[in-house]
Amino acid sequence: MAVNIQWFPGHMAKAIRQFEENITLVDVVFEILDARIPLTSMNPEVKRISGDKPHLYIMTKRDLADETRVREWLQYFASINQPAMAVDAKTKFGPNAVLDKVNPILKDKLAREEAKGMKSRPIRAISVGVPNVGKSTVLNRLVNRRAAQVGNRPGVTKGQQWLKSSDKLELLDTPGILWPKFDTQEVANKLALTGAIKENAFSSDDIALYAINRFRETMPEGLMNRYRLTKDDFELSDVDMLLKITQNVGMRDDYLRASDRIILDARAGKLGGFTLDSVADLEANDDTN
């Protein structure tokens, strides 16, 4: 099927090159994932480029996600020994939570260095993720900017800096931006709905219809309460439901404006928490490989 959403692989090549350079400087990679689309916001290149560097998944936007599914993802990652955590990056999140995950991964490496007589040193990390996933929010929560600059270090590309998170952790100030694997309309819809791709890259009615299609089963109360739908309205097709919502929010027949409203409401969590990727999707993908 043709994918209607445009993206720009030219940026991707440059981003990958820069990430490849930066990876040599760090002990651990924080891949930031969106807890609403943990699989879709993953970039398979990150693992390839990271090679044997340890990798921590930080799933942001837990407060906007479906808690049951988030727990399934955490369990799944634990079952494959993949370090992972899920957070509301805007609150209740800081360096200690990350160090709790990172210390066990790097314990052996640091012990080996100490055994060779090397001075104890902070762990160095870089974060990477798709646009809008929460990279800056994570960085800001981990770093006290005023006290943060560690100064330039050899090897760091001009203009980049290490920021001090704690005595035990330093972060590169420029997170890597990588685009997700982007090969089906379903993936595009998920990215658009969660805000990972630009507004002008898709038509909002397509995305609103996708939201209605997903949420009518999983979050009927959210739709009913927000848009004054009745039980009978759930007999309607997706398109007719969109038209009904358009009327109910007082936009007459301007279904494009109503679509924008639905998308913004979904992103802000006003219809309820949702996670569009399930562990079962991953297993289905694996079967086709």
Smallest gap from residue 89 Cβ to ligand GDP (A)? 4
Smallest gap from residue 10 Cβ to ligand GDP (A)? 19
Among 20, 39, 31, 79, CA closest to 56: 31
Q: What is the CA radius of gyration of the chain?
A: 21
Pick the closer one to ligand GDP by CB: 136 or 157.
136
Smallest gap from residue 137 Cβ to ligand GDP (A)? 3
CB contact at 8 A, 43 and 133: no
CB contact at 8 A, 193 and 263: yes
Pick the closer one to ligand GDP by CB: 60 or 246.
60
Q: Under the rule (CB under 6 A), what is the footprint of ligand GDP?
A: 60-61, 63-64, 88-90, 129, 131-137
Pick the closer one to ligand GDP by CB: 138 or 156.
138
Smallest gap from residue 133 Cβ to ligand GDP (A)? 4
Smallest gap from residue 8 Cβ to ligand GDP (A)? 16
Pick the closer one to ligand GDP by CB: 207 or 242.
207
Pick the closer one to ligand GDP by CB: 90 or 257.
90
Pick the closer one to ligand GDP by CB: 90 or 124.
90
Smallest gap from residue 117 Cβ to ligand GDP (A)? 39
∠ Cα 110 116 118 (to 5°): 65
Pick the closer one to ligand GDP by CB: 137 or 160.
137
Smallest gap from residue 194 Cβ to ligand GDP (A)? 10
